[in-house]
């Protein structure tokens, strides 16, 4: 029997058992071959519903061409689609223990529950929190800044998914679009998000055990992107911006973010010396950027040891605090356009 005929026969068998309210029990006791036949038949019934009700709306919100149809799904999107179909089928065979006359209607009714449960289960298998939430200690470390807290949530969500970002570790393009909508700043773009990701990661690393369990471990399970052909050396990248200019841009973004955090916490009544020490440690003291990986020691954009030395010297710290207070009173401080 051809595969299409087997699928059709499996779909008819699924409908018959579902109408009788016996599908779940029958499936539990079926042979491996019978289970394959039933799942193949159920897939034939469910896949279009999953695409129309789950996949297509998500891809439209992401503005992906994937929303046009199944043939247009990119590899990562196709993988999510198959995961969602499998989750719907798992839920179907586990709960189809009552007579079901309108099978498509039943599947649609429980589809959201099934795909959400499947997503959470897969996150748990990767060692990531099933429901990513930003803990209170991290909210405090980020100065309760709404966008940085949202970015932290995006990071916690991203590390628990199978998706990759091409040749980058983080999906900066998508996050830059979200940042523009969230903050109203249409000019920051990817450089601003990249700097803010470093700020959030530095704050996260202040709890090393939590960071390793929640971020590093699941992130390490992602598939590493490969962008070169076997047997051919990878071409040298075309450098459009000089390294010192990239360093200056990064430092300006970090300085602006540091000033914003300091201002927020000082406005809340915290001691300036405590705030400045804490924020400089968070923003600059633990900075590790991707573009530093190709540099020898001592040539990083930011030297953490120098930052530590500056804020450990009381006189220098007093000078820094005075400078920060003076900056906060100026109209042209780094946090403003």
Please, which pLDDT band fits residue 291 given cuts at 50, 70 and 90?
very low
User: 277 or 44: which carries more pLDDT confidence?
Assistant: 44
Encode pLDDT of 127-170 as tens digits.
777 778 899 999 999 999 999 999 999 999 888 877 676 667 88
- pLDDT at 223 (0 to 100): 66
Q: Has residue 289 got a pLDDT over 50?
A: no
Q: Distance between CA 173 and CA 175 in Å, rounded? A: 5
Q: What is the mean pLDDT of the chain?
A: 79
The Cα 201–Cα 203 span in angstroms is: 5
Q: Is the pTM of this model over 0.75?
A: no
Q: Burial level of 327, CB count in 10 A (0-12/13-18/19+)? A: middle
- For range 257-261, the mean pLDDT: 76
**Average pLDDT, integer, range 212-234:** 65
Mean pLDDT on 300-321: 66
Q: How much is the pLDDT for 296?
A: 45
CA distances 182 to 107, 109, 176, 291, Å, are 35, 32, 10, 27
With a pLDDT cut of 90, the percent of the chain lying above it is 33
* Pair 198, 254: CB distance under 8 Å: yes
Q: Model confidence at 272, in pLDDT bands (50, 70, 90)?
A: confident
Alpha-carbon distance of 55 to 74, in angstroms, equals: 12
User: How buried is 58 (Cβ within 10 angstroms: 0-12 exposed, 13-18 middle, 19+ buried)?
Assistant: middle
What is the pLDDT, as a whole number, of residue 253? 67
Q: What pLDDT, on the 0 to 100 scale, is given for residue 292?
A: 45
- CA dist 116 and 112 (Å) reads 6
The residue with tokens 């795909």 is 115
Give the pLDDT of residue 104.
93
- pLDDT recorded at residue 72: 86
């Amino acid at each position: 029997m051809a595969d299409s005929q087997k699928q059709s026969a499996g779909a008819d068998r699924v409908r018959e058992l579902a109408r009788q309210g016996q599908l779940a029990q029958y499936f539990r006791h079926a042979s491996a071959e019978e289970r394959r036949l039933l799942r193949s038949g159920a897939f034939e019934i469910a896949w279009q519903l999953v695409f129309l009700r789950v996949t297509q709306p998500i891809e439209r919100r992401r503005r992906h061409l994937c929303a046009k149809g199944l043939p247009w799904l990119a590899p990562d999107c196709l993988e999510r689609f198959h995961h969602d179909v499998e989750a719907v089928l798992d839920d179907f065979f586990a709960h189809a223990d009552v007579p079901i006359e309108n099978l498509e209607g039943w599947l649609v009714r429980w589809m959201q529950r099934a795909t959400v449960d499947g997503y959470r289960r897969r996150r748990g298998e990767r060692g990531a929190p099933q429901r990513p939430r930003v803990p209170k200690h991290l909210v405090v470390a980020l100065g309760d800044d709404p966008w940085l807290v949202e970015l932290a949530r995006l990071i916690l969500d991203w590390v628990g998914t199978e998706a990759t970002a091409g040749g980058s570790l983080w999906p900066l393009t998508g996050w830059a679009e979200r940042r523009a909508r969230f903050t109203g700043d249409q000019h920051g773009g990817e450089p601003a998000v990249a700097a803010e990701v470093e700020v959030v990661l530095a704050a996260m690393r202040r709890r090393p055990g939590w960071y390793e369990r929640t971020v590093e471990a699941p992130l390490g399970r992602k598939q590493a992107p490969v962008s070169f052909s076997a047997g051919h050396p990878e071409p040298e990248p075309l450098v459009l911006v000089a390294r010192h200019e990239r360093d200056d841009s990064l430092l300006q973004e970090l300085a602006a973010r540091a000033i914003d955090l300091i201002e927020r916490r000082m406005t809340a009544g915290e001691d300036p010396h405590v705030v400045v020490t804490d924020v400089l440690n968070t923003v600059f003291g633990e900075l590790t950027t991707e573009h530093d990986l190709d540099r020898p020691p001592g040539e990083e954009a930011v030297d953490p040891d120098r930052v530590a030395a500056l804020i450990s010297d009381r006189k220098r710290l007093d000078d820094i605090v005075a400078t920060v207070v003076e900056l906060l009173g100026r109209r042209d401080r780094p946090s403003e356009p």
